[in-house]
Amino acid sequence: MTVGPREIITPRRKIPLKIPEGMSAVEFFNSAANLEHLAKENGLLVNEEGFLLYRKLLGHSTEFDTSIMLDTSRKILDPLGRPVRRDQLTRQQKNVWSRMTQIIFEYMLERYPDPAQALILCGEASLDATWPLNKPGVPSIRMIHNHFIVFPTAMIANARLADASDPNLTDSGHNSLFLQHLSEVYRRFLEVLDLRILKPVATDAARLTLTGYPQGLPSWEVSGGFEQLGNPRFWDEYDLILKGFLDFYRTFFSQVSTRGAGIPEGVYFPQQVENILLFNNRFAQVARDVRDRVKADPRFANDIRWRPAYKQILYRDDQNRLIVTISQNSVGNAITELLGIVVRREEDEAAYDRIEPGLVSRLLEVRERLIAADLGAPIHTPLWPESATRPVAGAH
């Protein structure tokens, strides 16, 4: 068997949207009008905290594919003012976000218990407020969202090898500035985190057998296994990894922007920023090199994300372990590409019609669990009217 990234072809429907004349598709996808359409046509559940569970019509997998989005499009009209990261949520919102994630992930583990049969992952994506609208994107590009995906391993094994130089693949040799040039100081900085449940694991040990990914990314094993998903301490540590990443990102790009910049305002670990990052000669050298290139190369400058952009994922590896990893986010990267899976969506109404009933039935099953946990009320669409689901104890 040849190990390498795979390209999966996923059928999709034609998106039933009429884009106003003079607007690009990506511009419309970021509008409140499109988000309202998304909820009406593909919404599964909504709650008082503003979280929307919906079916991914432009999805990655036809086995199981759904997302939670914090839909603030009706409350915050400025797209650049909407929350895009967990650290921008209220305490109550973060609690609900974690509980919803726990329930959906546990559902996937129960339905697909064998790691030899299915790859299970969820990932939070943040595309920052400086992300240009003329870049490829998704409807939730300006809001925090979490993506839950299951791929049958047979599908991955039978897929053709992807081009290893595909710019969307995230690894230490392609897109990741931190790992390509700052690996030593990056890992040293993350080692200061107070982690008790999440245990650092060698990247090679956490790679998927079929794809050989992730490559070069810092990874942590969830000590204690799946039961820890119900432990609030796990979610606190999941947040610590994000906070460490954010501090590193902010500090580095503040140095790129302004030579000799001090500790950025609002960092979580100011002493470590000062002692590990700002006193590191390699850190300063790479920031200078990037600064010089920004001034000289307008195309490179346009791709710089001045605000933190990342993908943080939780997945089950081949050894039945839960692994957490985090990556700098490049334009075009998808959650799956951290694990070496490139998805090509092809419009094929007939193929999608064949798989849709099974996919929707699984989404409705997980929705029932969220309703039972008092985490939202169901949304009824033409495809899944109220009669399509059985009554659930505790449902709204």
* Cα–Cα distance measured from residue 332 to residue 384, given in angstroms and rounded to the nearest whole number: 32
* Cα–Cα distance measured from residue 352 to residue 368, given in angstroms and rounded to the nearest whole number: 24
CA 265 to centroid of chain Cα atoms: 26
Indicate the pTM of the whole model. Answer: 0.92
Exposure string for 262-278, b = 16+ CB within 10 A, e = fewer:
ebbeebbbeebbeebbb
* Cα–Cα distance measured from residue 384 to residue 41, given in angstroms and rounded to the nearest whole number: 10
Phi and psi at residue 389, to the nearest 5°: -120, 145
The pLDDT of residue 332? 57
* Cα–Cα distance measured from residue 330 to residue 309, given in angstroms and rounded to the nearest whole number: 8
* Cα–Cα distance measured from residue 190 to residue 326, given in angstroms and rounded to the nearest whole number: 11
The pLDDT of residue 171? 61
What is residue 121's three-state secondary structure?
Answer: strand
Residue 24: other Cβ atoms inside 10 A: 11
Rg of the chain (C-alpha set): 21
Residue 183: other Cβ atoms inside 10 A: 15
- Mean pLDDT in runs of 10 for the chain (396 residues)? 91 82 76 81 94 91 95 84 89 96 98 97 78 57 87 96 81 70 93 94 90 91 95 96 96 96 96 97 96 92 82 95 89 80 92 94 97 96 70 35
Which strands sit side by side in the sheet containing 341-347, from one edge to the other? 160-161, 6-12, 341-347
* Cα–Cα distance measured from residue 304 to residue 150, given in angstroms and rounded to the nearest whole number: 32
* Cα–Cα distance measured from residue 315 to residue 335, given in angstroms and rounded to the nearest whole number: 11
Is-cis flag, bond preceding 385, omega within 30? no
* Cα–Cα distance measured from residue 163 to residue 375, given in angstroms and rounded to the nearest whole number: 41
